[in-house]
Amino acid sequence: MTERTRLSTVGLKILMGVTGLFLVGYISLHMLGNWQIFLPAVYINQYAYLLKSVPLLLWTVRLLLLASFVVHVSCAVRLAQIRRLARPVPYDQHKPNGASWESRSMLLTGIGLGLFVLFHLYHFTWHLPPFSAFDGFTAHLKETSRSVPDVHRMMVEGLRNPWVAAAYLLGMGCLFFHIRHGIDGIFSTLGLVNRRSFPWERWLAHALGWVFFLGFSAIPVAIVLGWVR
Amino acid sequence: MNVPDARIPEGPLDRKWQTCRDRLGLVAPANKRRMRVIVVGTGLAGSSAAASLGELGYGVDCFCIQDSPRRAHSVAAQGGINAAKNYRNDGDSVYRLFQDTLKGGDFRAREANVYRLAELSTRIIDQCVAQGVPFAREYGGLLANRSFGGVQVSRTFYARGATGQQLLLGAYGALNRQIGLGQVEMHPRTEILDLVVGDGRAQGVIVRDLVSGRISACSADAVVLATGGYGNVFALSTNGQLSNATAIWRAYQKGAGFANPCFTQIHPTCIPPSGRSQSKLTLMSESLRNDGRVWIPSRANDRRPPNLIPEAERDYFLERLYPSYGNLVPRDIASRALKRMCDEGRGVGPNGLGVYLDLSDALSRLGPAAIRERYGNLIDMYRQVTGENPIEQPMRIYPAIHYVMGGLWVDYHLMSTVPGLFVLGEANFSDHGANRLGASALMQGLADGYFILPYTIGDYLSRKKTGCLSIDAAPFRDGARNSEARLAKLLALRGPKSPAEYHKELGALLWEHCGMVRNGQGLKLGIEKIRELRDSFWKNARVVGSGEGYNQALERAARVADYLELGELLCLDALSREESCGCHFREEHQTEEGECLRDDARFAQVAVWFFRGEGEAPERAAEPLRFESLKPVARSYK
Amino acid sequence: MRITLRLWRQSSPAEQGGFVEYVREEVRPDLSFLEMLDELNQDLERAGREPVAFEHDCREGICGSCSLMINGRPHGPGAGTTTCQLYMRSFADGERITVEPFRSRAFPLIKDLVVDRSAFDRILQSGGYISVGTGQAPEANTVPVPHSVAEEAFDAAHCIGCGACVATCINSSAVLFVGAKVGHLGLLPQGKIEQDLRVLRMVRAMDREGYGACSFTRACEAVCPKNISVEVISVLNRAYWRARAKEFLGWIKPVR
């Protein structure tokens, strides 16, 4: 590839930011959907059935997600490679000098998040052992008296185990730090900030981080504590 | 030896430069492509010259000693650059800038040169603005000005306290563009060891790559030296550590006349010296005298902290002594007044070497925000060096060596006495006489590089009928051999003392005998001592390492060896100029009030020194100065 | 004061380097850090040993020559300063000070603490200027520039090219440096004309030198001796994607 067609480091970051933003958009909807767990079981089951009943939408979203994820991860791999090459001899002493922990650990929290996503799919989407029993959970929707997967029960059963819940919390911890810095970085990468807007965009990034962390974590916590049955 | 004709055109003063340009020979574009020019130094003068020559189509080899052209010491100039734009509507004009500069230099500069400088000043501002220099602006978006020493109008353009940096980055940008286009070949980290002269003209240079240590030759149709001043001969100065005299000293030894070496400017507002190991003195821009008031306690040995000294017991001595210019008297006047006060025992600070420069009046008038906008980086700099905050307590200042008006002699075309060797900026002697006004050095460097040399060098090149000398020719081989021999001689030194110690001793000697005040006896003694010191250097110095590879000890030693020769010439010149003018104050020649007493009958002249061989006394020749438009008067700022 | 210096010594890029310890007694607190190194070098020279190579020139914080990594921070402790403006009073009596060269692939080592930062020059040569020839300029007040724009342009233009931003960055990214130039010139009406060309060329030149990408840790801003704001990075990114989109869509000619 010539220099003009190859992605520049700035271009890589922009791709990283745009795909990241798409993923953040997705998890926002995901979180809103999940909150139906706090309502009677029928809500989330109906919602899940609705999603599954439109395969075109479901698979479009899934493929877009997959594509974003792949692009996001491959950019990260390339950037990590560039980073390693850019400093062949390490420092003996290197202070963070004002750089936050999350900003220096995007790769770590990103890997953590990736592992979590795999686990999450394994757990709730693929229902592979030891979670094969989830396949058998069904519920009846009153209106249609049709038998649909009982997502509510699956979540409650699936997250009641403190180890699993802990794994989810750990995943959300990664998400928290990854998003906190990710949003901060997206603003800069897309060239949307200046000296005067820094305080609020940083505030926004931190607020979103907390919203996602607390919003998602509330579910396993509530289940483990027995508030949701 | 005679001083060659300065080639100043006849005719009225304001037509001279035009007349000169109209008569200059031109080089056709196709011929320019075949010609090469060497530019040494990348400060304001060097960068601007190299860029402009590249734009014209010449092939340029540009050398600098630093790792990047952007680090040349012009970068450190703080206050501003003068230009006769009269944007303030306060009566400024080209003639007035000319008059101020000539008077400021105590009538020891060439009238025609100074007028040309004033004339070109306005175009410099235009050029720099077009390059993107972020000069300070008024709220309407037009350029702002401030006033500077020795002047009663506001004609100084500035970019906060880093005007030199911004102007240099402008010229460096222009240079970068030419490097990118392949017109200029840049050679950073390369030091000039010798000038090569053959067939009576400059043919090229011998250089040393400071990283590999390799010595090589570079040949060209003309050589331009823009290597800055030699103020570092005093060891403690406001100059950068790498600024040195080697290139001009070699040129002098190859036949270039050295003009007015004793004209060394002492800047009044520097942070006072603190200790033995100090490596440099930090300048606080003269622009601070716009808003700062200089004072000392009225009583001698008053050790109270400044804020406990009531207004009535403060002596604002510059305002008292020079009511019409007040704190904005020229540098030489201010420095001497300051020294007199400290000599009376009224100095402040730990060793009594210092006076207060107080911003408190301006702070209460304008508020801290406005002061920060004007002088922010100076305030930070002062705080870093001293640990004191100038917003809370007055700054302490003391004079220090800052600039040299002397340098290689050049004619109106900026050519030295060696044909084909041009000298620009601080390295030449031309425009500031015996004292430079603030904000004029930047003006001169850029005028030389952008608007004078590109014209005049063409005249020389148009008359040159032969091509470049091959680097295998005898003068180049001899030059390289001599340079190698000199370095080998230095590397063989195995005494107990480091070259840095010799440098400090030399500096102390010069400061004592050839500093702010000089006298015949002291100068003679100084010359004796410098000779002894030089002999001692070649016996007792120690230079470690080898000539191959990066060796800062060797670089320093070679420069110090040159300073030890140059220092003597400074004293010789100061001794022979039996008058006081500008920065050159001979105690034997002063008025009753302790001001300079010029002797126009005998010394309205440029002293030009010629090298006559190792161990021989140099020869002094003189170029008489004629004043047709402005009659020399006793300089008064009262 | 008593100070233990732990300095990186390496006689040439080809040789193996390592830390060497020097104990300095009676260090005066009003000595600058570089003057303290001068004293050490003087002692080494007297003893016939090679002095420590380090870069310095103006010693007033404007030339950008000095470049040391002191205790894990470029230019040592203190905000908005260069190494040459660092004074020994910033250290505690008995402190051990580790001094390393700036490390980045784009800044290869020359000797001891000296690195080659000419990569910065090459980036600027690719487009960090306004293309105006000597003599072409119109009268200076022809184009007014708002006060605030001139001030902001100065803030960015104040960069001294020392490389501290690259040195501290976990990615060894040079975007603060490049952004400062793109920001400075792009803000001014004179520089807007070539901004697209400039930013594409400079970003490509930056990548050629092997700098990493920006992950916006903002450490560069924290160590910048001239306090250049990371907003210039945002300016650079914005200018880049705009120019890149134009180039991609064929609205401007492909840039070399």
Ordered by where they begin, the domains of chain C are 3-111 (3.10.20.30), 118-249 (1.10.1060.10)
The closest alpha carbon to B205, from B218, B214, B187, belongs to B218
Q: What is the mean pLDDT of chain B?
A: 95
CB A19 within 8 A of CB A79: no
CB contacts under 8 A, C 54-73 vs A, are 69, 71-73
Alpha helices in A87-197 (DSSP H): 101-104, 106-120, 151-160, 162-189
* Span B25-39, average pLDDT: 96
CB B293 within 8 A of CB B358: yes
Joined tokens for residue C70: 């002191």
Q: How far is C210 from chain A (nearest CA, A)?
A: 6
% of chain B at pLDDT higher than 70: 100
Q: How far is C138 from chain B (nearest CA, A)?
A: 6
Strand partners for B518: B586
Residues of C in contact with B542 (CB under 8 A): 45-46, 48
- Between CA B387 and CA B507 the distance in angstroms is 27
In the block, which residue shows the tokens 């850090």? C33
- Between CA B581 and CA B406 the distance in angstroms is 13
Q: How far is C126 from chain B (nearest CA, A)?
A: 6
- Between CA B637 and CA B594 the distance in angstroms is 14
- Between CA B545 and CA C51 the distance in angstroms is 9
Q: How far is A5 from chain C (nearest CA, A)?
A: 9
- Residue in chain A lying closest to C228 (CA): A195
Alpha helices in B367-438 (DSSP H): 368-386
- Between CA B378 and CA B292 the distance in angstroms is 13
Joined tokens for residue A215: 């919003």
Judged by CB atoms closer than 8 Å, whether chains meet at C87 and B67 is answered as no
pLDDT tens, position by position, C187-201? 999 999 999 999 999
CB B485 within 8 A of CB B308: no
* Span B608-630, average pLDDT: 94
CB B415 within 8 A of CB B201: no
pLDDT at C47: 92
Strand partners for A19: none
- Between CA B170 and CA B47 the distance in angstroms is 9
Q: What is the mean pLDDT of chain A?
A: 91
Domains in chain B with CATH codes: 267-400 (3.90.700.10), 474-599 (1.20.58.100)
% of chain B at pLDDT higher than 90: 86
The closest alpha carbon to B574, from B261, B253, B267, belongs to B261
At residue B256, does pLDDT exceed 80? Answer: yes
In this structure, are strands B184-187 and B59-63 parallel, antiparallel, or unpaired? Answer: parallel
> Length of chain B, please?
638
pLDDT at A4: 58
Option in C103, C106, C212 nearest A83 (CB): C212
pLDDT at A131: 84
Option in A4, A103, A198 nearest C217 (CB): A103
pLDDT tens, position by position, B503-539? 999 999 999 999 999 999 999 999 999 999 999 999 9
At residue B375, does pLDDT exceed 90? Answer: no
Judged by CB atoms closer than 8 Å, whether chains meet at C129 and B380 is answered as no
Judged by CB atoms closer than 8 Å, whether chains meet at B165 and C85 is answered as no
H/E element holding B338?
Answer: helix B331-341
Task: Give the Cα-Cα-Cα angle C43, B240, B169 (nearest 5 degrees).
Answer: 140
Q: A130 preceded by cis ω (within 30°)?
A: yes
Joined tokens for residue A5: 């067609």
- Between CA B542 and CA C62 the distance in angstroms is 32
What type of residue is A176? Answer: F
pLDDT at A1: 47
Residues of C in contact with B140 (CB under 8 A): 144
CB B207 within 8 A of CB B216: yes
Alpha helices in chain C (DSSP H): 33-46, 118-125, 147-157, 164-168, 175-187, 189-192, 195-208, 219-223, 231-249
Judged by CB atoms closer than 8 Å, whether chains meet at C60 and B165 is answered as no
- Between CA B217 and CA B202 the distance in angstroms is 13
Q: How far is C248 from chain B (nearest CA, A)?
A: 25
Option in C73, C103, C255 nearest A89 (CB): C103
B79: confidence class by pLDDT, cuts 50, 70, 90 = confident
CB B483 within 8 A of CB B531: no
- Residue in chain A lying closest to C178 (CA): A10
Residues of C in contact with A98 (CB under 8 A): 217-219, 221-223
- Between CA B181 and CA C201 the distance in angstroms is 13
In the block, which residue shows the tokens 């030198």? C209
Judged by CB atoms closer than 8 Å, whether chains meet at B138 and C58 is answered as no
Neighbours of chain C (3+ CB pairs under 8 A): A, B
In the block, which residue shows the tokens 């490596």? B279
Option in C106, C168, C238 nearest A191 (CB): C238
Joined tokens for residue C145: 């520039």
Q: How far apart are the first and last CA of chain A?
A: 57
Residues of C in contact with B385 (CB under 8 A): 32, 85, 87
Judged by CB atoms closer than 8 Å, whether chains meet at C56 and B549 is answered as no
Residues of A in contact with C253 (CB under 8 A): none
Option in A86, A192, A194 nearest C105 (CB): A86
The closest alpha carbon to B481, from B215, B255, B294, B121, belongs to B215
CB B245 within 8 A of CB B203: no
Residues of C in contact with A76 (CB under 8 A): none
* Span B455-473, average pLDDT: 95
pLDDT tens, position by position, A188-218? 999 998 888 888 898 999 999 999 999 999 9
Lowest average pLDDT, out of B382-391, B575-584, C1-10, C236-245, goes to B382-391
CB C235 within 8 A of CB C182: yes
Residues of A in contact with C207 (CB under 8 A): 3, 8-9
pLDDT at A2: 57
Judged by CB atoms closer than 8 Å, whether chains meet at C62 and B134 is answered as no
Residues of B annotated as part of the active site: 331
Which of C19, C215, C221 to probe by mutation at the A interface, max A CB count within 10 Å? Answer: C215
pLDDT at C113: 97
Q: How far is C146 from chain A (nearest CA, A)?
A: 18
Does the predicted model carry a pTM greater than 0.90? yes
Judged by CB atoms closer than 8 Å, whether chains meet at B553 and C51 is answered as yes
Question: Going along chain A, which residue ranges are E strands?
Answer: 138-140, 147-149
CB of C216 within 8 Å of any CB in chain A?
A: yes
Could you tell me if residue B113 is left (phi over 0), alpha (psi between -120 and 50 degrees) or otherwise beta? alpha
CB of A163 within 8 Å of any CB in chain C?
A: no
Judged by CB atoms closer than 8 Å, whether chains meet at C170 and A193 is answered as no
pLDDT at A5: 66
What type of residue is C52? Answer: V
Judged by CB atoms closer than 8 Å, whether chains meet at C129 and B165 is answered as no
- Residue in chain C lying closest to B69 (CA): C121
Judged by CB atoms closer than 8 Å, whether chains meet at C171 and A83 is answered as yes
CB B483 within 8 A of CB B215: yes
Judged by CB atoms closer than 8 Å, whether chains meet at B130 and C137 is answered as yes
Joined tokens for residue C51: 């002095």
The closest alpha carbon to B331, from B403, B441, B437, belongs to B437
Q: Do chains A and B touch (3 or more CB pairs under 8 A)?
A: no
pLDDT tens, position by position, B277-324? 888 899 988 889 989 999 999 998 888 999 999 999 999 999 999 999
Q: Going by C-beta distance under 8 Å and a sequence separation of 6 or more, which residues neighbour residue A39?
A: none
CB A215 within 8 A of CB A222: no
C-alpha radius of gyration, chain C, whole number:
21
- Between CA B279 and CA B298 the distance in angstroms is 32
- Between CA B207 and CA B219 the distance in angstroms is 11
Q: Exposed, middle or buried, B186 (CB in 10 Å: 0-12/13-18/19+)? A: buried
Option in C71, C72, C241 nearest A191 (CB): C241
pLDDT tens, position by position, B148-207? 888 889 999 999 889 999 999 999 999 999 999 999 999 999 999 999 999 999 999 999
Judged by CB atoms closer than 8 Å, whether chains meet at B165 and C158 is answered as yes
- Between CA A115 and CA A119 the distance in angstroms is 6
Joined tokens for residue B507: 């500096």
Strand partners for C21: C6
Q: How far is CA C51 from CA A66, B500, B553, C10, C11, in A?
A: 58, 12, 7, 12, 11
The closest alpha carbon to C131, from B245, B54, B35, belongs to B54
Tell me if ipTM is over 0.85: yes
Question: Going along C36-151, which residue ranges are E strands?
Answer: 69-70, 73-74, 96-100, 109-111, 114-115
Please, what sign has the CA dihedral across residues B561, B564, B567, B569? negative
pLDDT at B153: 93
pLDDT tens, position by position, C63-98? 999 999 999 999 999 889 999 999 999 999 999 999
Chain centroid to Cα B314, Å, comes to 34
Sheet containing strand B314-315, edge to edge, reads B264-270, B395-404, B355-358, B293-297, B314-315
CB of A1 within 8 Å of any CB in chain C?
A: no
At residue B637, does pLDDT exceed 90? Answer: no
Judged by CB atoms closer than 8 Å, whether chains meet at C238 and A100 is answered as no
B:C CB pairs within 8 Å? 236
Q: Do chains C and B touch (3 or more CB pairs under 8 A)?
A: yes
Task: Give the Cα-Cα-Cα angle B267, B268, B274 (nearest 5 degrees).
Answer: 95
- Between CA A163 and CA A170 the distance in angstroms is 10
pLDDT at A3: 58
CB of A107 within 8 Å of any CB in chain C?
A: no
- Between CA C127 and CA B177 the distance in angstroms is 7
CB contacts under 8 A, C 148-207 vs A, are 168, 170-173, 175, 203-204, 206-207
